[in-house]
Amino acid sequence: MRVAVLTEASCDLPESFLRHHGVEVLPGRVRVEDRVVLDERDPIVSSRFYRNAFSAHGADCEVLQATLDQTWQRIVDRLIPRYDYVLCIAPDAALSPVHRNLTRAAFAALNEASALRREGVGTTPFGMRVIDARATSAALGVIVAQACLLIAGGHAAADVASTIEAMRDEVASFLVPPERTRLDAPRRWRDHLARAMGQRPILHREGPRYVLTGRAAGTRGAVEKLLLLAAAEIRRGLSVAHVVISHGGDPAAIAALPGYAQLSLAAQEHKVTLLPTMMSVSRALVIGSGCTEVAYVPRAGSR
């Protein structure tokens, strides 16, 4: 059976990984003044956007998800003719309409697939399953990567879907936001005091929101603490053998982040794959450019 993975552009994974595993990316759309730019995780387009639009038009940018018709068309044009089963892994339904649109598009696409199969496009029934990953950005990347690796290992699509649904609430995701962010932040006096003293927050994603989990002196100190935390979790043991590091800017800068050398060493010692990548343009517009996020699945009972 030919199985495909479909996800959305807010899934943070290296373009090389997506291409190697044939992941179909449903594009996001970003409105910049009177222009609409497609966010398909193309590293050249994304880099140009980071360099130009964020600095010049940041306040005038708006994220526009793919419409129902665009979602349906992508499935019919690219997936039905080439695959027998599509596993659709959508970003958190509490944050995005993508899951709803994918679910509605899947019903329409299944009818279209039946007609195409009768016309000779494929010889087996076509199937789809839509999963709410309850995650976005680096955490969504961890889930999609695991699905791809299981499929590449010969696991049945139904087993892959069950595994993903079981692990989605176990993914740990930590973020150091930039100085200027659109994330909701508490207004308590101690948070104002911490900012005035140069303390930067480290946030942990719980459900659709980020909550404060710690602080460190300056952005570099917070990023170092974030990466050293991930290194310590690797040494304790992870449930899946990959970690996604998402950066709101040039991914080449990730290797120079404080704490990355220790994280890389821990990964090598424990045979864990690091997946450093540029944060999607659409997600960085919400959080702010310059952020750093790390996601992984801790060993059961380690948190």
Per-residue pLDDT tens digits for 142-196:
999 999 999 999 999 999 999 999 999 999 999 998 876 656 555 554 555 556 5
pTM of the predicted protein model: 0.90
Looking at residue 65, what is its pLDDT?
77
Residues 136 and 247 in one domain: no
Regarding whether 210 and 129 lie in a shared domain, the answer is: no
Q: Which domain holds residue 205?
A: 172-296
Tell me the average pLDDT across 263-268.
98
SS (H, E, C) the chain: CCEEEEEECCECCCHHHHHHCCCEEECEEEEECCEEEEECCCHHHHHHHHHHHHHHHHHHEEEECCCHHHHHHHHHHHHCCCCCEEEEEECCCCCCCHHHHHHHHHHHHHHHHHHHHHCCCCCCCCEEEEEECCCCHHHHHHHHHHHHHHHHCCCCHHHHHHHHHHHCCCCEEEEECCCCCCCCCCCCHHHHHHHHCCEEEEEEEECCEEEEEEEEEHHHHHHHHHHHHHHHHHHHCECCCEEEEEECCCHHHHHHCCCHHHHHHHHHHCCCEEEEEECCHHHHHHHCCCCEEEEECECCCCC
Task: Report pLDDT digits (tens) over 58-85.
Answer: 556 777 777 888 888 888 888 888 888 9
Is 109 found in the same domain as 245? no
Q: Which of 143, 167, 191 is the last residue of a domain?
A: 167
pLDDT of 125 over the 80 cut: no
End position of a domain, from candidates 150, 167, 184: 167
* 208 plus 223 within the same structural domain: yes
pLDDT digits (tens, 9 = 90+) for 187-199: 554 555 556 567 8
> Domain tally for the chain?
2
Are 13 and 136 within one domain?
Answer: yes
Do 108 and 198 reside in the same domain of the chain?
Answer: no
The answer to the question of residue 280 being in a domain is yes
CATH of the domain at 123: 3.40.50.10170
